[in-house]
């Protein structure tokens, strides 16, 4: 893994306002792991990289941007409820005002400020502004991708990548992953064949690209090609199962095919062996949502779930009052209803109503 130092970022047209080569390398390491959906153990994972990044240059604004951005974009935490995050955002804002940053860096700070205050479309507008002048700014591209995804803005998700795609030539690091991002925007806007073509191109370059696998899982789902879908997931599993940020979701897609075939035991086996354990170890909101969704689908099919709802409730309970995305709220609600925890259900609905006033 080649990590960019100060000069390399400058040469790429993405100036970072720090004199620390170490900080730049760690920024690159964190960004690469985020972009590829996988914590790299040899680098100590994203958390370790961010911790070392803070130590390498505590005043590096873009270091604060990536750390705060990843916390916010995970949608498991908000400035309203998390005092540490609120304080970290304030520190970033103060730092940004005391330094002579590039216009691009200032826009990154503003975009996060918008996201943190719940103005997601405005945050996307600012990231788009960055991409107009810096089409290879991977952080802006990925943050906007994820946010469009949360908003259900499929066309924007596709076109945001389409606009910058010509600039991601094969010599640009991680360009094959951008193919994968583009492919997902295409599948979400019903261009199934083109989506699969791009995803397969990306996988030919890097077979561990779990997001491109995810695109193909969607294509097979949308075309009702269940047999093909099952075969594809099985054939490629060893390539993507270590992408810890997305593996749970890809297993969810795999189980979905089994539900469609009426093979509920097979779906439950994937749930017990992969979906639940991955979620319990990560606690990430994406994994939590997948767990709730899978159990609810099985429940609708009349499958007996034992105490599985109670296990997931242990994770969802602390997010009852988050209300960051309604999508999350609905899934958290599934878990409290499934576990027949009326107190938590009432708490979720009451606090949501209060916030909506």
Assign residue 340 a region: left if phi > 0, alpha if psi is -120 to 50, beta otherwise?
Answer: left
Distance CA 284, CA 299 (A): 23
pLDDT, tens digit, 9 for 90 and up, residues 313-326: 999 999 999 999 99
Per-residue tokens: 213? 């696998």
> Stretch 343-352: mean pLDDT, rounded?
98
Does the pLDDT of residue 91 top 90, yes or no?
Answer: yes
Q: How far is CA 290 from CA 95, 142, 177, 322, in A?
A: 37, 21, 23, 18
Does the pLDDT of residue 177 top 90, yes or no?
Answer: yes
Does the pLDDT of residue 39 top 70, yes or no?
Answer: yes
**HSE-CB of 309 using CA atoms within 13 angstroms:** 20
Task: Kindly state the percentage of the chain with pLDDT values over 70.
Answer: 99
Q: What is the largest CA-CA distance in the chain?
A: 61
pLDDT classification of 270: cutoffs 50, 70, 90: very high
Least confident of 1-10, 66-75, 110-119, 204-213: 1-10
Distance CA 150, CA 80 (A): 19
Per-residue tokens: 50? 């961010």
Q: Are 243 and 284 in contact (CB under 8 A)?
A: no
| End-to-end Cα spacing for the chain | 50
More confident residue, 4 or 241: 241
For 350, the enclosing helix (H) or strand (E) is helix 342-356
Does the pLDDT of residue 233 top 90, yes or no?
Answer: yes
Q: What is the CATH number of domain 1-157?
A: 1.25.40
Distance CA 34, CA 338 (A): 32
Per-residue tokens: 6? 């100060």
What is the predicted pLDDT for the residue at 1? Answer: 62
> What is the CA angle 129-135-139, rounded to 5?
80
Distance CA 188, CA 192 (A): 8
CB neighbours of residue 83 within 10 Å: 9
pTM listed for this prediction: 0.96
Mean pLDDT score of the chain, rounded to an integer? 97
Short-list 126, 125, 115, 120, CA closest to 89: 115
**HSE-CB of 17 using CA atoms within 13 angstroms:** 20
pLDDT classification of 4: cutoffs 50, 70, 90: confident
Per-residue tokens: 249? 């979701």
Radius of gyration of the chain (CA): 20
> What is the CA angle 261-266-272, rounded to 5?
140
What is 174-241's CATH topology?
1.25.40
Does the pLDDT of residue 2 top 90, yes or no?
Answer: no
Task: Kindly state the percentage of the chain with pLDDT values over 90.
Answer: 98
User: For the chain, which residues make up each domain, given as ranges?
Assistant: 1-157, 174-241, 246-357
Per-residue tokens: 30? 């964190």
Locus of tokens 């370790």: 48
> Stretch 1-28: mean pLDDT, rounded?
92
Short-list 294, 296, 237, CA closest to 266: 294
CB neighbours of residue 90 within 10 Å: 11
Q: Are 142 and 174 in contact (CB under 8 A)?
A: no
**HSE-CB of 118 using CA atoms within 13 angstroms:** 10
> Stretch 78-88: mean pLDDT, rounded?
96
What is the predicted pLDDT for the residue at 3? Answer: 83
- Burial label, 140 (beta-carbon count in 10 A; 0-12, 13-18, 19+): buried
* Fold agreement (1-157, 174-241): yes
Distance CA 320, CA 305 (A): 22
């Amino acid at each position: 893994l080649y990590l960019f130092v100060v000069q390399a970022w400058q040469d790429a047209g993405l100036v970072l306002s720090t004199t620390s080569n170490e900080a730049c390398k760690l920024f690159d390491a964190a960004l690469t792991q985020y972009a590829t959906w996988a914590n790299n153990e040899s680098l100590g994972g994203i958390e370790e990289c961010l911790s070392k990044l803070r130590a390498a240059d505590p005043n590096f604004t873009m270091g604060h941007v990536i750390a705060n951005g990843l916390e916010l974009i995970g949608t498991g935490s908000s400035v309203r409820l998390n005092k540490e995050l609120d304080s970290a955002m304030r520190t970033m804002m103060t730092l940004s005002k005391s330094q002579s940053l590039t216009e691009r860096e200032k826009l990154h700070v503003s975009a996060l400020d918008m996201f943190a205050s719940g103005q997601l479309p405005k945050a996307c507008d600012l990231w788009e502004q960055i991409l107009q002048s810096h089409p290879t700014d991977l952080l802006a591209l990925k943050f906007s991708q994820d946010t469009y995804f949360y908003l259900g803005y499929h066309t924007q998700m596709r076109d945001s990548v389409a606009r910058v795609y010509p600039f991601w030539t094969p010599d640009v690091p991680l360009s094959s992953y951008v193919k994968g991002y583009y492919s997902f925007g295409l599948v979400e806007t019903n261009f199934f064949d083109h989506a699969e073509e791009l995803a397969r191109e990306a996988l030919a370059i890097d077979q561990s690209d779990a997001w491109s696998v995810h695109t193909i899982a969607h294509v097979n789902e949308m075309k009702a090609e269940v047999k093909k879908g099952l075969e594809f997931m099985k054939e490629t599993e060893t390539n993507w199962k270590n992408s810890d940020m997305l593996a749970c979701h890809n297993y969810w897609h795999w189980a979905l095919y089994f539900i469609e075939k009426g093979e509920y035991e097979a779906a439950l086996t994937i749930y017990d062996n992969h979906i639940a354990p991955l979620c319990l170890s990560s606690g990430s909101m994406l994994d939590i949502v997948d767990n709730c969704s899978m159990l609810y689908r099985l429940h609708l099919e009349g499958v007996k779930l034992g105490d599985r709802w109670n296990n997931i409730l242990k994770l969802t309970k602390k997010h009852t009052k988050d209300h960051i995305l309604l999508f999350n709220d609905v899934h958290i609600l599934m878990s409290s209803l499934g576990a027949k925890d009326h107190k938590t259900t009432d708490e979720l609905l009451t606090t949501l109503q209060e916030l909506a006033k």
